[in-house]
């Protein structure tokens, strides 16, 4: 029964995807257009996440040296910043999955349609374009995944310190946090550098795809 339900679910998802692509094609949007749009969405999500992580770091830095009487309000701000960063990180992962889904469908369709081209020369040229697009995409998704992998360790570190502050709202907790500040700054700096590389890869990929479809 579980296997049957799984097969039905997969079938429904496949039908939904086909219907979605069919509607998009009616409006002149091919899979490569959808892929470019989703890469742009992923790039925007990374920009948002980068800003949230920078803001969370700023909130963390603000904790150091505050009067003990203000620790509660500082904790609330820091916790809010952490939760915002966590939400943005989740959005980045979701956007990357969306990019992967469309890319897989696009390349599968491209490979199938190659077999429909009877002219060997045209088929060869189209295949060369396919392989080049795959290489460009591989570089893009690798950069996105690398940036994504940097987010969780930073979030874990933020969460550790937010909870530590929550459980130890006193001057000793602040003194301990001060000692870890430079490490967190370094982690966030590396994360932002990776995100900027990934964003640059996305911009390059978009230019390649849009230039190829012009």
Give 141-189 pLDDT, tens digit per residue: 999 999 999 888 888 888 888 887 777 665 555 666 666 777 777 888 8
**How far, in Å, are 10, 97, 99, 129, 137 from residue 209 at the CA level?**
30, 19, 14, 11, 10
pTM: 0.63
Give pLDDT, residue 131. 94
Per-residue pLDDT at 38: 84
Instruction: Check pLDDT > 80 for residue 213.
Output: no
- Whether the CB-CB separation of 39 and 99 falls below 8 Å is answered with yes
pLDDT at 8 over 60: no
Beta carbons within 8 Å of 95's beta carbon, 6+ residues apart: 38, 41, 42, 45, 46
Distance CA 200, CA 37 (A): 15
Tokens 């969370």: give the residue: 56
Structure tokens at 146: 């690398």
pLDDT band at 104 (very low <50, low <70, confident <90, very high): very high
Closest CA to 177 of 190, 76, 167, 189: 167
Q: What percent of the chain has pLDDT over 90?
A: 26
Mean pLDDT of the chain: 78
Higher pLDDT, 77 or 133: 133
Tokens 């889904």 -> residue: 101
Q: Give the tens place of pLDDT for each residue, 122-145.
A: 999 999 999 999 999 999 999 999
pLDDT in tens, 24-46: 565 455 677 778 888 888 889 99
């Amino acid at each position: 029964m579980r296997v049957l339900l799984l097969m039905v679910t997969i079938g429904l998802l496949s039908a939904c995807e086909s219907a979605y692509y069919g509607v998009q094609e009616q409006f002149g949007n091919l899979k490569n257009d959808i892929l470019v749009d989703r890469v742009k969405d992923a790039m925007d999500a990374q920009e948002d996440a980068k800003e949230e992580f920078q803001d969370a770091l700023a909130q963390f830095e603000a904790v150091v040296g505050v009067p003990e009487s203000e620790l509660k309000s500082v904790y609330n701000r820091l916790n809010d910043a952490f939760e915002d960063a966590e939400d943005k990180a989740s959005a980045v992962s979701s956007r990357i999955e969306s990019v992967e889904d469309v890319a897989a469908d696009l390349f599968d369709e491209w490979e199938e349609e190659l077999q429909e081209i009877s002219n060997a020369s045209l088929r060869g040229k189209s295949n060369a374009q396919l392989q080049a697009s795959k290489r460009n995409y591989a570089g893009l998704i690798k950069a996105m995944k690398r940036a994504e992998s940097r987010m969780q360790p930073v979030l874990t570190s933020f969460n550790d310190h937010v909870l530590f502050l929550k459980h130890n709202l006193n001057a000793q907790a602040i003194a301990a946090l001060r000692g870890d500040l430079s490490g967190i700054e370094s982690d966030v700096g590396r994360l932002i550098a990776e995100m900027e590389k990934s964003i640059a890869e996305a911009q390059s990929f978009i230019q390649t795809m849009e230039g190829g479809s012009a």
